[in-house]
Amino acid sequence: MAALSTNHRGDAGVRVELERFLTEVEGQPLGVECAPRRDLVVTPLALSDPALDAVWREISGLVNLMRLLPADLWHAEDLSADSQPTSCMTRETVAADWTRFLAHARRVREFTFEDFDGRRPSHRPPWNTQIFGDNTVLRHLQQQCPEPYILPGLLKLLWYHESPPSLLDTFPRSVELLESKAPIVTSLTIYSPSDAATEVVDAVSLAVLPFDHLSRLPMLQDFGFSLSSTVSSPEASSPTFPGLTELIVRPQCQASLLCSLLEGISSTQLGRIWWQINETDPNGILSVVTVLADHCSQDALESVSISASWELLGTPLAESLRIIALEPLLTLGNLTELHLSIFWLDLGNEDLEEIAINLPFLTTLNLGSAGLVLPCRITPSGLIPLLRHCALKFLGIVVDFGDNVPESEFILPHIRPRALTRNARRLHWLDFGNSKIGTAKIEATAAFLSELVPRVETLTAWTKFYGVKWPTFTVNAHFMNNLQTIGTAGKDSISENGLNVLKGRRSVPVSVTRPAQNAEERLQVFLESVLVLVFIQVADAIVESSSGLESELGIFAGRSFSRMREIKIYDDARNTAVRAASK
């Protein structure tokens, strides 16, 4: 086949080549290593350079790379009685051995290693491709490669290891290898169980040496890590990470260690930080967000996410998390996304206004939509200043719509600021978490929302929180359940019994499409303008009468809005779903 002149990966000619290539290798997926497999190395097709770039862009494991070297380089050795033969080098390499290897290795942009890749049985070389130790494939490649870098074009490295020895067990040598052989890596993710790395952490100081080496990767942009909570703060040097744009910190990382890491980051382009915490001490959170605000570029930082580990759900709370522990975040005036998925968060209406005034560019704000364990202090009127100052597209918040909330909380200003009207119309997704809506406040809630946020398209809420039933049942349409039902119904399309079913729920979050004009129409809006209704957990009375529920839903959905697709009721007791689709 003649080589294509185009260099565009999406070129139609390249796609045709790759389709033929896949046909030749019996449709095996690219980038997934099969044993035995030679499809990335030997093919009857003469692929063009753009097609080869696409084939080699993402690879998994070392096997395909090893097969680019002469077969007589390797022999099998039984290093232990209970393991597969291991690939070991038979002779020293010469320059000619590396021609094919270097030609294709330069095309690799993403490399994935999984520990089971090296343990797959094979009856021909390369056998079990051990990674660690002195007499290993990786060490031989490093020592004998005639070029400075094994994978000179590598941009993304994913390292999954679930059993020792792992990449962490070879620190700092393995990261020295990364530093010298993969200088343009832009994304690095290392997964390893914390208990497997504990001894190594204590011996080598994971907080110092490896971070120091990783920080010398000048183009590293995405860095995710998880460290044992027993790790102490670095005492010697600090990392710099000059090209970092995204930092992901998983649980089991002490606040003191994270503070040291943030203080050492020299990148001025850090735009996203995601931190999953596993402690409830507000002082630790305050220390981290203080360092974050002081040392990160306020011009570059656009997204901050702090979420609580599920393991903390049953942990006794010494105190709630109030706005005072989060105030440093309010100095990050260019934030467009703020996620605080912390179930002991304790905010009031005045706190919402303070957040909105200081972070006016927010388009995504999540303040505990996954649910709160504390009594909610936010009432409907608290949404007004929030939307007056921020043009949100997504809002996740827990609001008290209970029967004890005064009627005045549901009344909008007679003359509304133009900014409030403009911003509120931009809100498309509203997540109420485990908000409580009293049965006496159903119509008031519907009317309030229909006037305040008339263009909401998706409204979600929780029935359960991490597997725990809340005292009140709620209508649930949370995206994490991969469920979405869009629809409305006219008042006349619901039977009296069906209306009682809806009113009988102790919480009925709604979303609407047009404002109500008077008290009578408010109920009409509530009945006609429901956009999202998915029942995840239903009350016992509904479960018992579920035989008639399908017909009620059929009537409910019969005269639906044009965007309605289906309504689902999930009966957890029977592990079944009652479905009524109208179209």
User: How does residue 329 score in pLDDT terms, banded at 50, 70 and 90?
Assistant: very high
Predicted local confidence at residue 298, as pLDDT: 85
155/144: higher pLDDT = 144
CA nearest to 220, candidates 157, 283, 308, 305: 157
Does position 377 have pLDDT exceeding 60, yes or no?
Answer: yes
Predicted local confidence at residue 515, as pLDDT: 44
Predicted local confidence at residue 50, as pLDDT: 82
Predicted local confidence at residue 21, as pLDDT: 55
Q: How far apart are CA 139 and CA 127, in angstroms?
A: 16
DSSP notation for 334-358: T-SEEEEE-TTB--BHHHHHHHHHH
Does position 506 have pLDDT exceeding 70, yes or no?
Answer: no
421/315: higher pLDDT = 421
User: How does residue 185 score in pLDDT terms, banded at 50, 70 and 90?
Assistant: low
Kindly report, residue by residue over 2-37, the tens digit of the pLDDT: 232 333 444 556 566 555 555 554 444 333 333 333
278/328: higher pLDDT = 328
Does position 56 have pLDDT exceeding 70, yes or no?
Answer: yes
Does position 163 have pLDDT exceeding 70, yes or no?
Answer: no
Percentage of the chain modeled with pLDDT above 70: 47
User: How does residue 558 score in pLDDT terms, banded at 50, 70 and 90?
Assistant: very low
What are the phi and psi torsion angles at 105 (to 5°)?
-65, -30
The pLDDT of 512-541, averaged and rounded, is 38
554/111: higher pLDDT = 111
Q: With beta carbons less than 8 A apart as the criterion, state whether 472 and 507 touch.
A: yes
- Highest mean pLDDT range out of 12-21, 60-69, 192-201? 60-69
Predicted local confidence at residue 43, as pLDDT: 46
342/309: higher pLDDT = 342
Predicted local confidence at residue 119, as pLDDT: 46
Does the global pTM surpass 0.75? no
Predicted local confidence at residue 46, as pLDDT: 63
Q: Classify the phi-psi angles of 365: left when phi > 0, otherwise alpha if psi is within -120 to 50, otherwise beta.
A: beta
Predicted local confidence at residue 428, as pLDDT: 83
Does position 248 have pLDDT exceeding 60, yes or no?
Answer: yes
The pLDDT of 227-249, averaged and rounded, is 58
DSSP 8-state secondary structure symbol assigned to residue 218: T
Does position 384 have pLDDT exceeding 50, yes or no?
Answer: yes
102/433: higher pLDDT = 102
111/228: higher pLDDT = 111
Predicted local confidence at residue 226, as pLDDT: 54
The pLDDT of 164-186, averaged and rounded, is 50
Distances in Å between the alpha carbon of 507 and those of 42, 277, 441, 445, 472? 63, 30, 9, 10, 7
In a 3-state reduction of DSSP, which class is residue 86?
A: strand
Predicted local confidence at residue 336, as pLDDT: 95
Contacts of 431 (CB under 8 A, 6+ apart): 366, 369, 394, 395, 396, 397, 459, 460, 461, 478
Does position 391 have pLDDT exceeding 80, yes or no?
Answer: yes
Provide the token pair at 33. Answer: 């290593």
User: How does residue 389 score in pLDDT terms, banded at 50, 70 and 90?
Assistant: very high
Predicted local confidence at residue 218, as pLDDT: 57
296/357: higher pLDDT = 357
Provide the token pair at 471. Answer: 């005292």
The pLDDT of 470-476, averaged and rounded, is 29
Predicted local confidence at residue 469, as pLDDT: 36
Q: With beta carbons less than 8 A apart as the criterion, state whether 272 and 297 touch.
A: no
Predicted local confidence at residue 358, as pLDDT: 96
Does position 375 have pLDDT exceeding 70, yes or no?
Answer: yes
Strands, DSSP E only, in 240-363?
A: 246-249, 272-277, 303-308, 337-341
Percentage of the chain modeled with pLDDT above 90: 14
Q: Tell me the pLDDT of the chain averaged across its residues.
A: 63
Kindly report, residue by residue over 282-296, the tens digit of the pLDDT: 888 999 999 999 988
Does position 335 have pLDDT exceeding 70, yes or no?
Answer: yes
CA nearest to 187, candidates 227, 246, 242, 238: 246
362/457: higher pLDDT = 362
Q: With beta carbons less than 8 A apart as the criterion, state whether 223 and 241 touch.
A: yes
User: How does residue 535 score in pLDDT terms, banded at 50, 70 and 90?
Assistant: very low
Q: Report the sign of the C-alpha dihedral through residues 477, 479, 482, 488, in that order.
A: positive
DSSP 8-state secondary structure symbol assigned to residue 489: B
Element (H, E) at 209: helix 209-214
Kindly report, residue by residue over 86-97, the tens digit of the pLDDT: 677 788 888 888
